[in-house]
Amino acid sequence: MSDNKEQKGKEPASKNVGTTALAEPKLTSVGHETRRIDGPLKVTGSAVYTSDHNFPNMVYAVPVGATISNGKITKLETSEAEKMPGVHAIFHRENIGQLYRVAPDTDFSAYTDEPRPAFEDDIIRHFGQYVAVAIADTFEQATAAAHAVKVTYAEDKPNVSAALTADTPVKVESKRGDAEGAFAKAPIKIDETYSTPTETHNVIELHATVAVFDGTNFTLYETTQGVVNHKNVLVQVLGVQPENVKVISKFLGSGFGSKISPWSHCAIAAGAARKLNRPVKLVLSRKQSFHSVGHRPRTQQHVRIGAEPNGRLVSIQQDYMNHTSMLDDYKENCGECTSYLYSVPNLKLTASLSRRNIGTPTSMRGPGAVPGLFATESAMDELAVKLKMDPVQLRILNEPQIDEGLNIPFASRHLIGCYKQGADLFGWSQRDPRVGSMKRDGLTLGWGTAGASWIAERFPASVMVQLHDDGTARVASATQDIGTGTYTVFAQVVGDKLGIPLNKVDVVLGDTSLPSGPLSGGSMGIASIIPATSKAIEQAVGTVLLAAVKTPSSKYFNAKKDELALTNGRVHRKDQYSKDGVPFEEILKIANLNNVSGSGSSASTFGQKKQQSFHSYGAHFVEVTWQEELARLRISRVVTVIDAGKIMNPKTGRNQIEGAIVMGIGMALFEGTEYEPTKGAPLNSSLADYIVTVNADMPKLDVHFLEVPNTELNEYGARGIGEIGLAGMAPAIANAVYHATGIRVRNLPIRIEDLLTEQA
Amino acid sequence: MAQDSDVGANTKSAVPGALPVNLTINKKSYSIAVDPRTSLLDCIRENLTITGTKKGCDHGQCGACTVLVNGRRINSCLTLAIMHDGDEITTVEGLGSVENLHPLQEAFVECDAYQCGYCTSGQLMSAAALLTENCGHKDEDVREAMSGNICRCGAYANIVSAIQSVRTKS
């Protein structure tokens, strides 16, 4: 990890132990374009992902999925499969050993969206539900054996209907004033229903488990967004003690929420390993990835907005529902941003669930906010059209002074700043609001905008830092880098605090034997790890300074610890510059210490009662081109401005937002899992039929950060940015499509046929 | 960034019906017997435990398994190992190493042309092939030629920048 470009910055980000050290320039990469420290491993195939693990005597597991989505297994014939070459076992409900349910969880410490373990009963509730697993010496043998397992079902008609109905009591999620009354009297009304389809995460790394069992202990190589949560869930499912399970996830091929919590295949692999006393590798197929590893559920949202002719909002109502599975109550919280996004005296949000014969849904990047904002930000655009008002103006006019949902002040809100900077960069003032009026090179242009918001929170975190006698630092925490750049930001924080280059920082993550770290979810990783790392470093540095004053051969022997500081990697007197001091490793060497360590923890803010409303914000500006004669719609240009506090690493940070825009293009134009009504199977369960954005779809991207740090969550004022870029992207595109074509598409994805049929 | 080193060999027992095949992978020769059903991808990853090449769909739809066969890029999941007797195969491990990165690998790191890194091996092998193909100079030409490789993290802009920076230099 030697090729990171360090830059000298003058930011006073590094707090020294004590307070009166001389001010001097400090070595730091925080806030500078910094290469990923794990980059060389990723580009050489040396980064080890779950399914890259191979062990002596390892066998392969291929699950057998139900071919119906509602009914009961009446017969499971395994004898033919068991006799096939290389087959060790066909496991199912009768013979895999007990797998337990997961107890209800309230704090994401042992959380799963699907508490039912595999094979718990013979009832089939969704297509692809695991009914058995074939174990053989090779993947080919196991695949053949899985196909040879004969399952007979008593089949009932499934319900996978996309027309959602409230199957659970309608719950009021937020309420102020009299939304119904105000809407009835409002002079200007928008009253529309919007829907977003089932979206499948389709992470390119297939879900996988490699389970190793030594007779007592499990080592589970997993692809997970939370090694600690994963372990705590598997401990329960396997019915074993915490000390007997270790979860490793050094690298994972992203998650987008689908790897937040374990799915039932994980315990199938572990259960098989326990039965056979052999390592078991289980890699789901792409097709299976559409069945039993979560998805963003379909949403249906009835939005009513009342306004004055001058554009002032008088009421917002958002009645939303999403499908969930037969057993689990996964709620897509579409009202996530609605209660605080605009100033409106009357508001009511309600939620309910629709039960379907579909696998359990889960969080997908920006859960709740992302589909919710599609509805509300589309509706705001419809209102702007009706009012003949500029959509940016409409938003500025209705900017709230406080969070009116919680009646508390905003900690940091610069949404209007995002709109203003984005509008300038985009050239929004040149927009002619008339539909189809703007042309370029024979194409019709559409310009649209929408706002974004996402929570700013912290999970609990513990971190250990060691300073070694070779001048390196090691920082360790049981969290993981899902591709967001956690390894690198960890190194940047340690490098910044100690004033040492990144190539002297070793970051160790993805292993439950390390101090418990945060989930990589909710865009909380960065904010969560900084305070704990800071405390750990403070403790380790304190010990180095103590060694400096207590070691007889030290230059600082018998000095007072308080007179010393550690800056730019060197121990020095506070009244002298660090260049006159001694490298910390020299102190350790003369004291004959291999290393000194420090530990730090910080608490969660998530779910706690708030004094201030803390979110990130953003604004998207989108240009589409529309070629009516060919019905060819392209996205040509996107300008996005994000208000997410301090950006620790602009290189990886910009990439996060750009990647979210790419996913937003998919959400707006391509993505949607379709269920076939007679068998309930996802029809387009492949990457050829479930379309995601590819390189050729790329518009010109221009991403900016406002960078207004708020230090409530951590001293740098940094917060996570993994999700905010996807929020608001789909409505910005839909609004641009309306501007180009005059067609308002309220059901994602926007298909060419939407633009054709409504025109005819 | 310490990783467990147990990526090691998987000592497979002999498979009934296995057929011999000679493969040259990254200039090293391998003479092995494989199940005729084994894809080139699974042969490389599971039989030979050269794991830099990734499986993302097993249907030739994502490009994560792209390797060079006799200099040409292919989806290694869409072809059987036994069909490649005598072929020269290059995987990402053959492109360069951590100590000695290929210019494309260097450019991917510099341009942050990845996030999670899982599709990266395939992107790099497609890019390596692209350098030898008749591809136009414009960014949109590169985008088209790289559209068989899905990056769900969406690092497409940086992938194009990385490839173009290498093409400009050469």
Residues of A in contact with B55 (CB under 8 A): 51, 206, 283
DSSP state of A556: T
CB contact under 8 A, B116 and A251: yes
SS3 label, residue B29: strand
Region A57-65: what's the mean pLDDT?
98
Residues of B in contact with A38 (CB under 8 A): 1, 117
CB contact under 8 A, A39 and B16: no
Pick among A35, A36, A44, A662 to test the B interface (most B CBs inside 10 A): A44
Structure tokens at A249: 């996830």
Q: Is B60 left (phi over 0), alpha (psi -120 to 50) or beta?
A: left
Is the pLDDT at A251 greater than 50? The verdict is yes
C-alpha distance from B132 to closest chain A C-alpha (Å) = 19
pLDDT in tens, B101-146: 999 999 999 999 999 999 999 999 999 999 999 999 999 999 999 9
C-alpha distance from A531 to closest chain B C-alpha (Å) = 21
Residues of B in contact with A88 (CB under 8 A): none
C-alpha distance from B129 to closest chain A C-alpha (Å) = 16
C-alpha distance from B20 to closest chain A C-alpha (Å) = 17
A42, A141, A659 member nearest B120 (Cβ): A42
SS3 label, residue A101: coil
Residues of B in contact with A701 (CB under 8 A): 157
Residues of B in contact with A206 (CB under 8 A): 55-56
DSSP state of A177: S
Helices marked H in B54-117 — which ranges? 92-95, 103-111
B57, B116, B140 member nearest A482 (Cβ): B116
Whole-number average pLDDT of chain B: 94
Residues of B in contact with A83 (CB under 8 A): none
Region A390-405: what's the mean pLDDT?
98
A40, A507, A687 member nearest B62 (Cβ): A687
Pick among A1, A3, A43, A280 to test the B interface (most B CBs inside 10 A): A43
Q: How confident is the model at residue A11 (pLDDT cuts 50, 70, 90)?
A: very low
Residues of B in contact with A55 (CB under 8 A): 6, 8, 10
pLDDT in tens, A347-386: 999 999 999 999 999 999 999 999 999 999 999 999 999 9
Nearest CA in chain A to B97: A44
C-alpha distance from B92 to closest chain A C-alpha (Å) = 6
Q: How far is CA A107 from the centre of its chain?
A: 17
List strand residue ranges (DSSP E) for A214-284, in order.
218-222, 245-248, 280-283
Residues of A in contact with B116 (CB under 8 A): 203-205, 251-254, 482-483
Please tell me the predicted confidence (pLDDT) of residue A21.
82
State how far the Cα of A43 lies from the Cα of A7, in Å rounded to an integer.
24
pLDDT in tens, A642-661: 999 999 999 999 999 999 99
pLDDT in tens, A681-720: 999 999 999 999 999 999 999 999 999 999 999 999 999 9
Please tell me the predicted confidence (pLDDT) of residue B14.
77
Region A151-169: what's the mean pLDDT?
97
Please tell me the predicted confidence (pLDDT) of residue B41.
98
Please tell me the predicted confidence (pLDDT) of residue A4.
40
List strand residue ranges (DSSP E) for A536-579, in order.
564-567, 570-573
Residue A626: strand pairing partners: A444, A633
Q: How confident is the model at residue A439 (pLDDT cuts 50, 70, 90)?
A: very high
Structure tokens at A445: 């242009």
CB contact under 8 A, B112 and A58: no
C-alpha distance from B86 to closest chain A C-alpha (Å) = 23
CA distances from B128 to A453, A484, A654, B112, B135 (A): 40, 25, 25, 17, 12
Q: How confident is the model at residue A62 (pLDDT cuts 50, 70, 90)?
A: very high
C-alpha distance from B41 to closest chain A C-alpha (Å) = 12
Active site residues of A: 723
CA distances from A183 to A263, A306, A315, A343, A373 (A): 44, 5, 6, 15, 20
CB contact under 8 A, B108 and A43: yes
Report the percentage of chain A scoring pLDDT > 90.
Answer: 96
β-pair type (A570-573, A582-583): antiparallel
Is the pLDDT at A35 greater than 70? The verdict is yes
Please tell me the predicted confidence (pLDDT) of residue A649.
98
pLDDT in tens, A111-141: 999 999 999 999 999 999 999 999 999 999 9
Region A484-509: what's the mean pLDDT?
98
Q: How many CB pairs (< 8 A) connect A and B? A: 241
- The answer to whether the predicted template modeling score (pTM) of the entire model surpasses 0.90 is yes
Region B45-57: what's the mean pLDDT?
98
CB contact under 8 A, B92 and A659: no
**By CB neighbour count within 10 A (0-12 exposed, 13-18 middle, 19+ buried), where does A472 fall?**
middle
C-alpha distance from B11 to closest chain A C-alpha (Å) = 5
Q: How confident is the model at residue B3 (pLDDT cuts 50, 70, 90)?
A: low
Is the pLDDT at A311 greater than 50? The verdict is yes
Among candidates A545, A548, A515, A553, which has minimal Cα distance to A532?
A515
Whole-number average pLDDT of chain A: 96
ipTM given for this complex: 0.96
Please tell me the predicted confidence (pLDDT) of residue A127.
98
State how far the Cα of A99 lies from the Cα of A120, in Å rounded to an integer.
7
Please tell me the predicted confidence (pLDDT) of residue A525.
93
CA distances from A521 to A196, A257, A260, A649, B72 (A): 22, 7, 7, 19, 40
CB contact under 8 A, B98 and A44: yes
Residue A72: strand pairing partners: A123, A154
pLDDT in tens, B6-44: 444 445 567 999 999 999 999 999 999 999 999 999 999
Q: How confident is the model at residue A607 (pLDDT cuts 50, 70, 90)?
A: confident
Please tell me the predicted confidence (pLDDT) of residue A20.
72
CB contact under 8 A, A204 and B109: no
Nearest CA in chain B to A46: B52
Residue B23: strand pairing partners: B30
Please tell me the predicted confidence (pLDDT) of residue B4.
52
A56, A205, A696 member nearest B143 (Cβ): A696
**Cβ-contact A343, A400 below 8 angstroms:** yes
CB contact under 8 A, B57 and A286: yes
Pick among A695, A703, A721, A723 to test the B interface (most B CBs inside 10 A): A695
Among candidates A586, A624, A598, A604, which has minimal Cα distance to A535?
A598
Nearest CA in chain A to B39: A140
- Torsional sign, CA A333, A339, A341, A342: positive
Nearest CA in chain B to A657: B154
CB contact under 8 A, B116 and A485: no
Residues of A in contact with B120 (CB under 8 A): 42-43
β-pair type (A59-65, A280-283): parallel
CB contact under 8 A, A204 and B118: yes
SS3 label, residue A737: helix
Report the percentage of chain A scoring pLDDT > 70.
Answer: 97
Q: How confident is the model at residue B1 (pLDDT cuts 50, 70, 90)?
A: low
B9, B115, B147 member nearest A483 (Cβ): B115
